[in-house]
Amino acid sequence: MKRKLIAAIGIAGMMVSIAACGDDGGSGGSDKSGADAKELTVWLTVDAQNNWPELVKAADAAVTKKHPGIKINHEYYGWPDKNTKLDAVLATDKAPDVVEMGNTEMLGYMVKGAFAPLDTSKFDNSSAWLDGLKASVTYEDKTYGVPYYAGGRVANWRKDLFASVGVKSTPKTYDELTAALDKVQKKEGDKFSAWYQPTRDWYAAMSFVYDAGGSIAVESGGQWKGNLSSPESVKGLEAFKNVVDTYMHGDKTKDESDRYIVYGQGKSGMIFAPAWEGATAAAKENDKTGKLKGNVENFVMPGPSGKNLPVFLGGSDLAVPVKSDAQAVAAEWINAFTGSSGQKGLIAKGNLPNNKTDLATLKDDPATAVPATAAESNWFVPMAPGWGQVEKAQVLQTMLQSIGTGKKSVEAAAKEADAAIDKVINNK
């Protein structure tokens, strides 16, 4: 309750700030644009710190070249605690100037006026931003963020393990996939996860829900309502539970945050994850088996429906808090980080770009064809005003843990999740 009160106070303060600054449709109020700022504070998640720190340095260099003497501070946060810390700091006068947001987190903050409007003409490839990412930074026809990268999911498996049971090519159907997994599971034993699928990974679970024709929520007459207990959604959740029950022999209360580490430890034969995770697991510092380099392979995930499993086209956005006193320079840093050069670097790390122009080129390259193809069948979260509250309450993760640990049946857990969703999903 205390955290919620702090957040509420912070949002109220932001609304006052908006009224005081006025709305020029650019990168902040004209009197506080911060074009001559001497200091910039950038909040990113640990993904950037661990996986592409050189891109952060390149953006810093571009800004310091234009603004000699400027001091750029970086703070890195894990996804589970990032928003709690952000809510608290937004209630003060020490807001960061740039903050990374998951694209599903943007809506709640935009509704409450937490971020400054941005001029899209100042950002590379803005006319070609991917639709799902563009939607995530748009509210009432104004833009409040810049897409950073997209994250589609792909399957990744160890070629040596599957070859050892006679499987020498990636599966084209779900039946082929499960037949191959069954062989590996039998060979490796019940302490090994043929498919390491963290129970609380709602991005993967909802792919099964959408594959079965279900959804998280549905809208009718301007009102949203939870839909996880519908027959179609339950069918998808049952398929996900079967994966966890059959192939996942790790801790069934964990999320996906350290999945690539577990994979690198040689405890699993396959993962379904953002495309970069397989390569990261195989990196020297993470590969504890000494066998993964050149031996992990991405492929498009087939679904039980007979089609490619629809993937969550998620990713991250970068926003400028309305309380920032360096909004103009913050926008420059964002463009240096997410612009054409930055996108090339992110693509090289296994991410999908933030724009259609770059995405189209990836299907022609064998190294990137899999994630680009997988991204063609996708889903996104309900664009409901209270979706951020659903995420903050971890409704889906709680439901999945109850299902995966056997604490509740699929039907009971889904009904409980729908009730929790209905309480907040229409709240601004």
Per-residue pLDDT tens over the stretch 394-426: 999 999 999 999 999 999 999 999 999 999 999
Element (H, E) at 314: strand 314-319
Residue range 334-355: mean pLDDT, rounded: 92
Residue range 54-79: mean pLDDT, rounded: 96
Q: Please tell me the predicted confidence (pLDDT) of residue 366.
A: 86
Element (H, E) at 398: helix 395-404
- The answer to whether 39-152+313-379 and 153-312+383-423 have equal CATH topology is yes
The more confident residue out of 4 and 237 is 237
Place of tokens 């604490």: 407
User: Residue 52: pLDDT above 50?
Assistant: yes
Q: Please tell me the predicted confidence (pLDDT) of residue 33.
A: 64
User: Residue 29: pLDDT above 70?
Assistant: no
Q: CA dihedral in degrees (104, 105, 111, 114; nearest 10)?
A: -150
Q: Please tell me the predicted confidence (pLDDT) of residue 302.
A: 98
DSSP 302: B
39-152+313-379 in CATH: which number?
3.40.190.10
Residue range 341-354: mean pLDDT, rounded: 89
User: Residue 17: pLDDT above 60?
Assistant: no
Average pLDDT in the chain: 90
- Mean pLDDT lowest for which of 156-165, 279-288, 343-352? 343-352
User: Domains of the chain: which residue ranges?
Assistant: 39-152+313-379, 153-312+383-423
Contact 362, 298 (CB under 8 A): no
- Tokens matching residue 43: 């909040």
DSSP three-state, residue 136: helix
Q: How confident is the model at residue 371 (pLDDT cuts 50, 70, 90)?
A: confident
Q: How far apart are CA 408 and CA 414, in angstroms?
A: 9
State the pTM of this model.
Answer: 0.74
Could you tell me where the DSSP H helices lie in 228-275? Answer: 231-247, 259-264
Name the amino acid, one letter, at 135. Answer: A
CA atoms within 13 A on the CB side of 280: 21
User: Residue 388: pLDDT above 90?
Assistant: no
User: Residue 45: pLDDT above 60?
Assistant: yes
Q: Please tell me the predicted confidence (pLDDT) of residue 111.
A: 85
- Please report, rounded to a whole number, the percentage of residues in the chain having pLDDT higher than 70: 92
Q: How confident is the model at residue 27 (pLDDT cuts 50, 70, 90)?
A: very low
User: Residue 4: pLDDT above 80?
Assistant: no
pLDDT tens across 148-169, in order?
998 789 999 999 999 999 999 9
Q: How confident is the model at residue 334 (pLDDT cuts 50, 70, 90)?
A: very high
Contact 79, 109 (CB under 8 A): no
Q: CA dihedral in degrees (22, 26, 29, 30; nearest 10)?
A: -120
Quickly name the fold that domain 153-312+383-423 has. Answer: D-Maltodextrin-Binding Protein; domain 2 (3.40.190)
Q: Please tell me the predicted confidence (pLDDT) of residue 162.
A: 98
DSSP 198-220: -TT-HHHHHHHHHHTT--SEEEE
Q: Please tell me the predicted confidence (pLDDT) of residue 32.
A: 52
User: Residue 21: pLDDT above 60?
Assistant: no
Residue range 106-127: mean pLDDT, rounded: 94
Q: How far apart are CA 413 and CA 234, in angstroms?
A: 10
User: Residue 10: pLDDT above 50?
Assistant: no
Characterize the bridge pairing of strands 98-102 and 39-45.
Answer: parallel
